[in-house]
Structure 1
Amino acid sequence: MARRIIGIDPGLTRCGVGIIDVAAGRKLRFVHVSVIQTHADQELSERLRIIGDGLEAVLDEFAPGAMALERVFAEQRNLNTVMGVAQISGIALREAALRDISTQLHTPSEVKAAVTGYGRAEKAQVGEMVRRLLGLKEAPKPADAADALALAICAAWQTPVSSARSASRLHGSAAAERVAAPTKAQEAWLAAERAAKSRGRRLG
């Protein structure tokens, strides 16, 4: 049975939303992509309402079972941007909790590694790989849309890779052979995940 995942690239001006289905054998299927937009001259409360209403509508229409959000380190962006991302992330997490949707947080480098195999890939490279992986005619635009789908793809590939490693540890090589081996991009994602956890331990 396919698992439906929503990826959200949070932002006050443009909030990317991408939804995919993932079936056995890591088969991906495009479902939906959109960008919820607000304007800087609007009151903050109004901007948050617009984005909250937009996310609520998408979640109710497509009923995903999992959500992937971008995790941003404060030193990577200016303070205003970080605050906007945090505010939208809070809204998304609340909506997920209300619907009992499991959530994952991924750094940009983790997502880039999962999709392209390289944690410092340019946005154009990410968009092109998203296009290829989902069989689209062109890369989703703006970049927020492609990033949202990339987040969903990253989350889609996390569980199968973890399952393969767990099967190998618990049941030996025979069981592991029944689970598809991780791709190079997924191996790179695991490396990025380990690096992020290592940084977190050093900062803690």
Structure 2
Amino acid sequence: MARAQASVRVLGVDPGLTRCGVGVVDVAADRSATLVHVGVVRSDPELPIERRLTLIAAGLRAVIAEHRPHVVAVERVFAQQNRGTVMGTAQASGIALLLAGESGLAAATHTPSEVKAAITGYGNADKRQVQAMVARILRLDDLPKPADAADALALALCHAWRSGGPAVAAPGSAGKGALTPAQRAWAEAERASRR
């Protein structure tokens, strides 16, 4: 079994066509986390869709190249009232997942309620509560803004914590033994929901 790394670097992506939140964190085995990068990739709504997706892809490629994450966590698209918003989110999500694959990175998706529950302990937390907890976890002086960027950081943290952290994410590691019983139960429930 490969030796577990000291920390795992996770790129969180909060997909969107106009604003695509990106956040990179290093998470240690003790679940402590450090901010590496936070930002937003933007595209002008007046541009044709292919140009907008190209801009998002270029922005995400730049973050991957500069910060070299071990894994990419993307918000899972779910049904919303606004079909246009869902389509744009799904398209940006697809770009993020494709780039992870092209870069040889593992990728995972998490629902907004999963992320909120992991970060705040409450699956229906509002944006401000998520921002406040992300700032507290990362020991930031100010709330991360805009909300898309805070959501990307929350996704990255959620993924590291839910996956069992560095021991699980280490390339080539079996990892299963590093999970707590609760994390194993969560992983089993996730697998069952995908069948």
Q: TM-score range by the shorter chain?
A: 0.7 to 0.9
SS state at 1:160 partner: coil
Alignment of 1:10-89 (within 5 A): 10-74=15-79, 76-89=80-93
CA distance change for structure 1 residues 21 and 154 in 2, over 3 Å: closer, same or farther? same
Q: 2:109 aligns with which of 105, 109, 112?
A: 105
Distance apart, 1:159 and its partner CA = 2.2
Alignment of 1:117-136 (within 5 A): 117-136=121-140
Distance, in Å, in 2 between the alignment partners of 1:110 and 1:197 is 14
Of the two structures, which has the highest relative contact order with CA contacts closer than 8 Å and spacing of 6 or more?
A: 2
Distance, in Å, in 2 between the alignment partners of 1:33 and 1:17 is 6
In structure 2, list runs of 5 or more residues that go unmatched. Answer: 1-5, 169-175
Amino acid in the other structure paired with 2:88 = G
Distance apart, 1:160 and its partner CA = 2.1
Distance apart, 1:22 and its partner CA = 0.9
Amino acid in the other structure paired with 2:19 = R
SS state at 1:26 partner: coil
Partner of 2:172: none
The alignment's TM-score, normalised by the length of structure 1, stands at 0.80
In structure 1, list runs of 5 or more residues that go unmatched. Answer: 168-174
The two structures, once aligned, show a CA RMSD in angstroms of 2.8
Q: Number of residues paired by the alignment? A: 183
Q: Which has the higher helix share?
A: 1
Distance apart, 1:99 and its partner CA = 1.2
Partner of 2:148: 144
- Which runs of 4 or more aligned residues in structure 1 lie more than 4 Å from their structure 2 counterparts after TM superposition? none
Partner of 1:172: none
Amino acid in the other structure paired with 1:67 = V
Partner of 2:173: none
Distance, in Å, in 1 between the alignment partners of 2:39 and 2:78 is 25
Deviation string 1:110-168 (CA, Å, 9 cap, x unpaired) is: 000000000000000000000000000111111000000000000010122897xx64x
